Amino acid sequence: MNNIEFKLLRESLHLTRQDLADIWGLSSPRVIQRWDKGDLPVPVNRQEELKSLDDIVEETVKNFIDTIILKKERFENIDIVCVVAYNATNYDGDFLHYKLHNAVLMRSFHELKRKGILLKIVEFDRKDYLNWLGKKSDTQAMRSAWAINKIDK
């Protein structure tokens, strides 16, 4: 993998240099900047780690798209899919999953659009969600219902 391929793959995963430095436990993003520019060759282990992250995103997108297509074939009335997007302050998982979640959303958006299905992305608002949720349990299904409610307004 050359420096351009490394940089483009990193960016396609919505990972900044600082993000990778944090994920990989590097003290500074400077070395990643040098890899991006071609000043230093990208170590093979870092190439493999980045490719592995991309493989995870691709597999997740494939599974998501397959699920939507299967539901569309079964029910024939799906032309809009609604998903929840998180920002760094309201994501309840770890940082890497948050970044990969966003990469999955964007790749899925484009893939579904090619298939004639609109992906509506609703930003998660914890305060609004908890108010809407009331005393019910927090589940992925409830977050989906909240998001659908948001696009209906």
For residue range 97-120, what is the model confidence (pLDDT) as tens digits? Answer: 888 888 999 999 999 999 888 888
Q: For residue 93, name the pLDDT band (cuts at 50, 70, 90).
A: low
Q: What is the pLDDT of residues 17-74, one digit of tens each?
A: 999 999 999 999 999 999 999 999 999 999 999 999 999 999 999 999 998 888 877 8
Q: Which long-range contacts (CB under 8 A, 24 or more apart) does 65-70 make?
A: 65/108, 65/111, 65/112, 65/115, 68/112, 68/117, 69/115
pLDDT at 151 over 90: no
Whether the CB-CB separation of 42 and 35 falls below 8 Å is answered with yes
Which residue in this structure is represented by tokens 């964007």? 106
Separation of alpha carbons 71 and 97, rounded Å: 26
Q: Quote the longest CA-to-CA distance of the chain.
A: 56
Which residue in this structure is represented by tokens 């484009």? 110
Burial status of residue 52 (CB atoms within 10 A of its CB: 0-12, 13-18, 19 or more): exposed
Whether the CB-CB separation of 118 and 79 falls below 8 Å is answered with yes
Whether the CB-CB separation of 99 and 53 falls below 8 Å is answered with no
